[in-house]
């Protein structure tokens, strides 16, 4: 009950706010028409054309929603995430602009629409229908897009849709009461207050949309997490459901999502509060002019609607209503697989997994999975060898999701891995015949046992690199003891590259790793903070004029911290989880792109290309251990990656001159572009490694 209410409330607010705005436009149109009709010099004008125009606007909005729903359902999971992410960002942009537009336009909205009605009524009923259609249609399309993305963010349950329906119905009732003068509402105050709630919801939709784009591979940083509370927070608890439902935030968010959410709120709310502080008049249903008149432009000449459109309002209304429906129907019918007739709905309960699934045809399949188990989990469609041919990585309680795949001759079953309960499987279904379709490659699930051997080898490799780092740190201490700063700079670079070759990406070595290679970001006193230690602290001192006496204690502390990392690695306290190894294969170079090539961790040495070159070596070492597992699952991937990493190394080596690494800003633009291009290609290929070697969650 708490989950459903939490998912319904934000969509109820959206429906109420957006519905009231659109309904206000309709009310003003009707009020203006009533005033025009009461003029003794004017002819009697029916309100029917206005309602035909409104019905046409509703038809356009509903058709738009249908096309969005049917078209995205036929896409692959990754393509759905990409489209959903783009539409979410677009919806946030539109609703933000609408919030500010409504604040600015409120005072003159009534007068503007009255002028439109008077001109249209003078031309004919058909023109009046078109005027209503255009006035309401924009509001309807904005509302449809934002509701669609908000419902998608909340989950495909009945609660968000029910909340939106209640909000729209309430808005229609309020507008009718306002029109009948049965109630009075300070609409300016209402729009200002609800705008703040709408901005908070929009921030959550923005974060959700960017997460979709990261899942689709369109944006980097999918595994650069700001926090992951999923192991400590029960996503099914009432309080977590309320927070998630109202704000669209989740227990697991990336850095990009958190930064976008925080930045959006920090920018938009103060801008709106300052703007709303200026006195604005509320839209009026009765006054022909704004409360605070402002100079306006001269009235525009009447639109030159075709004669038949003016004289035949029923034809115009029918076209406005039927054309969007026909266009949407034709679009949906033309979608690939729209007429395949092989969509299947399967249900997940507490005790069963796709119990009603008993038959399947060869070719493209779209399964609608309804999660009635009350738990969050993963749904896999497996073939006879246990390889995954389709999956839904995460499905929430009381939600539905689409699983798209292609089936060839063979046997298949569903596996339901729901949190807190044993793995459930469906009956085995046999598919026969069908050779025209080519099925996507199935991914054989990886086990912890398969990854343990490669991970052990990686740990031995990392231990060797840490030994090299300890030796370089000792040399650095000796240089400083002799007050030989030139040698200290050379040995610092050797030590930094030894650390990069360890492969400690994304702070994966915890506090011990941060002590070795931390940054001053976020520290109260920046580079002067006592917590700023390690290699980058030495880099700052060596390249900012600090003397050997000041830096010797920093080097001694570094030596102790390196020894702590060595001890933790040997005790499996750091790299002991084998399932982290496939993720490390991608994150080492993603870390290089984030920190080195952006200049984020440059404290004066300009060693970005040298550090990235060492990161390539670490990536090659990890891939060497994983290649026996990758080749059976993706036969050409390792060969492709070997070539791409070699290309990246060649591009980086162009940043050396006379055996000395140069800073990127000292190099020609062509060299920098070559590095960026080669790194981008390698990262795109590496992003598939974690998915290919994913270990299914244990119950």
Q: Which residue has the higher pLDDT, 122 or 348?
A: 348
d(CA 510, CA 698): 25
What average pLDDT does the segment 115-134 reach? Answer: 60
Q: Length of the chain in residues, anyone?
A: 699
Low-confidence winner among 32-46, 492-506, 612-626 (lowest mean pLDDT): 32-46
Low-confidence winner among 284-298, 526-540, 546-560 (lowest mean pLDDT): 284-298
pLDDT-based confidence at 437, cuts 50/70/90?
Answer: very low
pLDDT-based confidence at 22, cuts 50/70/90?
Answer: confident
- Give the DSSP H or E segment for 500: helix 485-502
Residue with structure tokens 């991970």? 455
Name which of 513, 489, 496 is nearest 575 in CA terms: 513
Q: Which residue has the higher pLDDT, 190 or 255?
A: 255
What average pLDDT does the segment 30-41 reach? Answer: 60
The pLDDT value recorded for residue 298 is 38
CA distances from 635 to 436, 439, 579, 683 (A): 23, 16, 21, 18
Q: If you write DSSP's letter for every residue of 123-158 in order, what string do you get? A: H-HHHHHHHHHHHHHHHHHHHHHHHHHHHHHH-SSH
DSSP, collapsed to helix, strand or coil, labels residue 531 as: coil
What average pLDDT does the segment 36-54 reach? Answer: 64
The pLDDT value recorded for residue 39 is 54
d(CA 119, CA 562): 80
Q: Which of 81-95, 416-430, 488-502 has the highest mean pLDDT?
A: 488-502
Q: Which residue has the higher pLDDT, 669 or 9?
A: 669
Name which of 202, 186, 168, 176 is nearest 99 in CA terms: 202
CB 353 within 8 A of CB 414: yes
CB atoms within 10 A of CB 453: 13
pLDDT-based confidence at 339, cuts 50/70/90?
Answer: very low
The DSSP secondary-structure symbol of 44 reads P
pLDDT-based confidence at 144, cuts 50/70/90?
Answer: confident
d(CA 178, CA 183): 6
CB 226 within 8 A of CB 258: yes
Q: What percent of the chain has pLDDT over 90?
A: 24
What average pLDDT does the segment 659-683 reach? Answer: 90
Residue 376 φ then ψ, to 5°: -90, 145
Low-confidence winner among 68-77, 215-224, 579-588, 637-646 (lowest mean pLDDT): 68-77
Q: Is the pLDDT of residue 240 over 70?
A: no
Give per-residue pLDDT as tens, 587-615.
899 888 888 988 888 999 999 999 999 99
Give per-residue pLDDT as tens, 576-586.
678 888 888 88
The pLDDT value recorded for residue 291 is 41
d(CA 236, CA 240): 7
List Cβ neighbours of 231 (8 Å cut-off, separation of 6 or more): none
What average pLDDT does the segment 325-353 reach? Answer: 72
The pLDDT value recorded for residue 4 is 54
SS (H, E, C) 166-219: HHHHHHHHHHHHHHCCCCCCCHHHHHHHHHHHHHHHHHHHHHHHHHHHHHCCCC
Q: If you write DSSP's letter for every residue of 85-107 in order, what string do you get? A: HHHHHHHHHHHHHHHHHHHHHHH
Q: Is the pLDDT of residue 280 over 90?
A: no
The pLDDT value recorded for residue 224 is 74
CB 306 within 8 A of CB 130: no
Low-confidence winner among 352-356, 431-435, 664-668 (lowest mean pLDDT): 431-435
CA distances from 215 to 212, 222, 428, 549, 593 (A): 5, 6, 30, 49, 18
What average pLDDT does the segment 301-305 reach? Answer: 41
Which domains are present in the chain? 2-47+73-292 (no CATH), 343-431 (2.60.40.420), 448-692 (1.20.1420.20)
List Cβ neighbours of 599 (8 Å cut-off, separation of 6 or more): 608, 664
CB 56 within 8 A of CB 320: yes
Q: Is the pLDDT of residue 356 over 50?
A: yes
Token pair belonging to 106 = 């409120």
Residue with structure tokens 């839904």? 392
The pLDDT value recorded for residue 690 is 87
Q: Which residue has the higher pLDDT, 2 or 664?
A: 664
Residue with structure tokens 């109820």? 12
The pLDDT value recorded for residue 266 is 92
Q: Is the pLDDT of residue 508 over 90?
A: no
CA torsion sign for 168, 169, 174, 178 is positive
Q: Is the pLDDT of residue 350 over 70?
A: yes
The DSSP secondary-structure symbol of 398 reads T
Residue with structure tokens 């051997």? 453
Q: Is the pLDDT of residue 436 over 50?
A: no
Q: Which residue has the higher pLDDT, 669 or 305?
A: 669
What average pLDDT does the segment 346-373 reach? Answer: 87
The pLDDT value recorded for residue 282 is 46
Q: What percent of the chain has pLDDT over 70?
A: 70
What average pLDDT does the segment 314-343 reach? Answer: 67
Q: Which of 280-284, 375-379, 397-401, 582-586 has the highest mean pLDDT?
A: 582-586
CB 389 within 8 A of CB 414: no
Q: Which of 187-191, 218-222, 346-350, 496-500 has the highest mean pLDDT?
A: 496-500
Give per-residue pLDDT as tens, 454-480.
988 998 999 999 999 999 999 999 999
The DSSP secondary-structure symbol of 568 reads H
The pLDDT value recorded for residue 115 is 57
Q: Which of 34-48, 368-382, 437-451 has the highest mean pLDDT?
A: 368-382
Name which of 299, 318, 20 is nearest 170 in CA terms: 20
Q: Is the pLDDT of residue 114 over 80?
A: no
d(CA 328, CA 359): 31
d(CA 473, CA 488): 10
The pLDDT value recorded for residue 304 is 42
The pLDDT value recorded for residue 310 is 46
- Give the DSSP H or E segment for 451: helix 448-481
Chain mean pLDDT for the chain: 77
């Amino acid at each position: 009950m708490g989950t459903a209410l939490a998912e319904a409330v934000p969509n109820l607010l959206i429906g109420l706010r957006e519905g009231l705005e659109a309904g206000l436009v309709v009310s003003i149109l009707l009020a203006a028409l009533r005033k025009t009709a009461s003029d003794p010099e004017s002819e009697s004008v029916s309100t029917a054309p206005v309602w035909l125009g409104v019905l046409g606007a509703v038809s356009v909005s509903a058709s738009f929603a249908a096309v969005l729903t049917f078209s995205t359902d036929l896409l692959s999971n990754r393509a759905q995430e990409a489209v959903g992410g783009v539409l979410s960002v677009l919806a946030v942009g539109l609703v933000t602009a609408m919030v500010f537009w409504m604040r600015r336009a409120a005072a003159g909205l009534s007068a503007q629409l009255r002028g439109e009605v008077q001109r249209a009524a003078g031309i004919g009923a058909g023109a009046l229908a078109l005027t209503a259609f255009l006035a309401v249609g924009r509001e309807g399309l904005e509302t449809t897009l934002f509701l669609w993305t908000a419902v998608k963010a909340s989950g495909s349950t009945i609660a968000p849709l029910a909340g939106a329906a209640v909000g729209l119905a309430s808005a229609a009732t309020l507008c009718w009461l306002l029109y009948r003068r049965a109630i009075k509402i300070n609409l300016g105050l209402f729009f200002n207050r609800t705008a703040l709630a709408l901005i908070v919801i929009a921030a959550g939709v923005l974060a959700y949309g960017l997460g979709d784009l990261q899942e689709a591979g369109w944006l980097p940083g999918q595994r650069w997490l700001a926090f992951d509370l999923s192991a400590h927070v029960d996503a099914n608890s009432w309080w977590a459901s309320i927070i998630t439902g109202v704000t669209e935030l989740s227990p697991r968010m990336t850095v990009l999502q958190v930064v976008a959410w925080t930045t959006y709120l920090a920018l938009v709310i103060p801008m709106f509060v300052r703007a709303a502080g200026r006195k604005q008049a509320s839209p009026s249903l009765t006054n022909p002019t704004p409360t605070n008149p402002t100079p306006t432009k001269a009235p525009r000449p009447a639109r030159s609607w075709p004669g038949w459109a003016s004289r035949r309002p029923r034809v115009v209304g029918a076209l406005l209503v039927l054309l969007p429906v026909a266009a949407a129907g034709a679009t949906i019918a033309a979608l690939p697989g729209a007429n395949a007739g092989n969509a299947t709905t399967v249900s997940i309960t507490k005790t069963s997994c796709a119990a009603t699934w008993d038959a399947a045809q060869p070719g493209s399949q779209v399964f609608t999975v309804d999660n009635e188990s009350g738990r969050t989990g993963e749904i896999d469609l497996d073939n006879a060898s246990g390889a995954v041919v389709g999956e839904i990585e995460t499905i929430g309680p009381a939600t539905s999701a689409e699983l798209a795949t292609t089936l060839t001759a063979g046997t298949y079953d569903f596996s339901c891995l729901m949190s807190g309960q044993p793995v459930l499987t469906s009956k085995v279904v046999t598919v026969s015949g069908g050779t025209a379709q080519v099925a996507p490659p199935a991914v054989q699930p990886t086990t912890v046992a398969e990854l343990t051997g490669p991970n052990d080898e990686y740990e031995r490799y990392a231990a060797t690199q840490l030994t090299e780092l300890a030796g370089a740190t000792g040399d650095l201490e000796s240089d400083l003891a002799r007050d030989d700063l030139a040698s200290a700079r050379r040995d610092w670079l050797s030590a930094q590259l030894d650390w990069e070759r360890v492969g400690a990406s994304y702070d994966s070595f915890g506090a011990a790793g941060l002590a070795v290679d931390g940054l001053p970001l976020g520290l109260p006193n920046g580079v002067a903070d006592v917590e700023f230690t390690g290699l980058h602290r030495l880099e700052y001192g060596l390249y900012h004029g600090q003397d050997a006496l000041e830096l010797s204690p920093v080097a001694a502390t570094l030596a102790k911290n390196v020894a702590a990392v060595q001890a933790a690695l040997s005790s499996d306290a750091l790299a002991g989880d084998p399932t982290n190894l496939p993720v490390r294969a991608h994150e080492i170079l993603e870390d290089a792109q984030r920190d080195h090539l952006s200049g984020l961790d440059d404290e004066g040495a300009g060693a970005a290309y040298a550090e990235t070159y060492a990161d390539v070596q670490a990536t090659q070492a990890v891939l060497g251990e994983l290649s026996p597992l990758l080749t059976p699952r993706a036969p050409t991937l390792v060969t492709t990656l070997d070539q791409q990493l070699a290309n990246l190394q060649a591009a980086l080596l162009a940043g050396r001159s006379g055996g000395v690494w140069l800073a990127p800003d000292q190099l020609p633009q062509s060299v920098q572009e070559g590095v960026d291009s080669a790194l981008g290609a390698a990262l795109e290929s590496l992003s598939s490694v974690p998915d290919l070697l994913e270990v299914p969650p244990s119950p």
